[in-house]
Structure 1
Amino acid sequence: MNDDLKLHLAQRAILLASDDATLAQLRSHDRKLLAAMEQGLLDSPLAGKTLADEDLFRALDKDFAGTLLMLEARARLWPGELLRVQHRLVACTEDSSAAWWLAAHYPSLPCPYVFPERHDAQVWAARALQRRGRTSMLEEPWRSWVSALAGEAALLPVVQALWDLSQGQDWEPWLAPLMVIADQKQSAAVLNWLSIQGDDRLVIQLMGLSCQSRFLPWLANMRRDEALSETVMRELRWLTGGQTSRHEGHQCWGEPLSEESRAGLFQRLPLGFRGRLWHWFGDGVQGAANSLQGGEWCAGS
C-alpha cells in the first residue's frame, strides 16, 4: 500500500471517529479516492483493474477494513467487481471473515459455506443468514440471537451466552441490536446483569444505545460523577442532539425514532454516531457506516 493511499485511509479513519464530522465530508474524501484510482495515481495492487488473489489476501491480512473499502471502490469503478471478488473469497476456506462481512452488508452477494471461527466474524455470518432467511444454518448461540431479535426468545439468556463466548469483547454489534428491541423489563434485566459483569461505562453506553427516553433522567443524574461525565454526555447527545425535548418511547438526536425519521438521521448524524443506526435498520442499507460514501440508503426500507 503506497504512502498516498495510507494517508487517505488514515485521514478517513479520523473522520469516521469524529463526533462532529459530517457525511458530506466523508463523501467528498471518498470522491478523491475514486478520482485517484480512476486516473491511475495510486501505486497499489488494490487500485489497479486486475487484482491477483495473492495481493487480495495479503492486503486483507495487513489491513482488513482498508482493503474492504478498496474493494467497494473497485466495484464503483468496475461494475460487477464485488461479485467477482466475493466468488474468490468464498472459494477460500482458510478464512471466510471478509466474505461474511461482504455477505452481511450486501445481500445480493453469495454466502460462504464455512461458519467463521473469529467471534467478530460470527455476528456478520448471523446477520448475513438472517437477511436471507436462512437462519436454520446458524449454530448456537447465534440461532437464539436471531430468535431474540425476532421476539421469539428471551433476551437475558442470549446475552449471557454471547457475553461468555466473546469474553466481553466486541460486544456492540451483537448486544446493541438486542437492546434496541428490548422492552423496559428486558432491558432492566440485561443492564442489571451486565452491571455485575462490566463497568459503569458499559451500562451508560447501553442506556444510550437502547434509545429509550426513560433513561434520560438516570443519565442526567450520573453526569455529576466526574469520572463518568464524558461518557454520559456523549450518550445524552446521542439521545437529545443537544435539545431539551423528551419524547415517549424511543428517541434519537432529539426526535422520536420512527420510520419517517430514519432517512433523515442517516444523512444528518455526525460520523462518530452514524454506525449506531445500523443496529436499528441495517437491513435497509447497502454497506456499513464505514463503507465507501458511508453506505447507501435503500429506497422503501
Structure 2
Amino acid sequence: MTAEIAVVVIGRNEGERLKRCLASVLAEVQRIVYVDSGSSDGSVAHARDLGIQVVELDTSAPFTAARGRNAGFMALHASGDLPEFVQFIDGDCLLVPGWISAGLAHLRSRPDLGLVTGWRSEIHRDRSVYNAICDFEWHRPAGPIEACGGDMMVRAQAFLNLKGFNPQVIAAEDDEFCVRLRKSGLGIERLPLPMTQHDAAMTRFSEWWRRAVRSGHGFAQVGHLHPEHFRPERRRVWLYGLLLSLVLVAGLLLAMSGALLAGGLLAGAALSVYALSWVRTVQGLARAGLPRSEAMHHGLYLSLSKYPNLIGMLTYWVRRWQRRDMSIIEYK
C-alpha cells in the first residue's frame, strides 16, 4: 500500500455492491473517502464502521457524479495532506488488484500525462443484453485517448488547477473534464490493463432507455460547452433520430392521403437508410470482435438508441431555454 494515492468512491444506495467495492479498495489503498448522495440503505454507517472517511452531500442541491467526486477530492485537500494522485471509482465497481501500482508507475514515468485509465468490464456480462452492451462499451483500444469514463487515476495538482469536474454537467462529466485537461496541455492514456469490474445490474428495457436518454443529455450539454466534442454523436442523433423520422412520417401521411406512390417512395427511402445503418453497425461490431448473432442484436439497440438520445438532447436544450437546474437522470 502507498500513501501517495487516495481513492474517492461515490455512491447512492448501492447496498451490497458498495460493500464489495470498499473491500476491494481497502485491499489496495490505505486512504479512502466515500461520498454519499442521500443513501437510505446503511451505506454511510457501513463505510464509517470500516474506518473510512465519509462525506455526506447536502440534499438541498441536485446530486451529480461530478459534485460527488469534487466533494471527495476537496475533503482530501482540506486535510492539508493532498496525495500526489487520486483514483476515482464508482460504488458499483470493484477495483482490480494490481491496477493501483500499475497506474502509479505509468504516471510517475510520464509527467506529460494528466490521468490514466484502464479497462472496465461487467461482472455479470451475460445476465442481460443490457449488461453485454455496457461491457462492449467499456472495452476500448489502449493508448492515447481523448476522454474516458469516471473510473480514472488523476494527477491531483492537475485536478486542482482545473477546479475538478463541472458540477453542472449531469452526464458525461468525465468527458467534459478530459476535454479541459487536454486543453491544459496534459495527455490522457488508457493502459491495456483491467482496472475495475462494474455491476450494471440492468435487466429492464426501461433502464436501458433512461440510460440512453442520459447519454443524449450529455452529448448536448458537453457539446454546447465544447462544440468539437461529441460532434459525430450529435450528428447521428439529428439524422437518424429526427430527420429520417420526419421523412418517414411524411411518407406515411402522404400515402394515407392518397399519394401512395410518392408516400411509399419517401417512406421506403427512410427505411432503407435505417436498414443500411444497421448493417454497417453490425459489420463494425463484428470487426470489433463480437459474434455475428450478438452483433446483430446489439446493432438493433444501437440503432434504436438514437430516439432516447434525441429525447435527452432536447431535454437539455429545453432546460437551458427555461433556465432550469440540470438535475440528474437516473436509470436505476
Greater strand fraction, Structure 1 or Structure 2? 2
**So what's the TM-score if we normalise by structure 2?**
0.30
Greater helix fraction, Structure 1 or Structure 2? 1
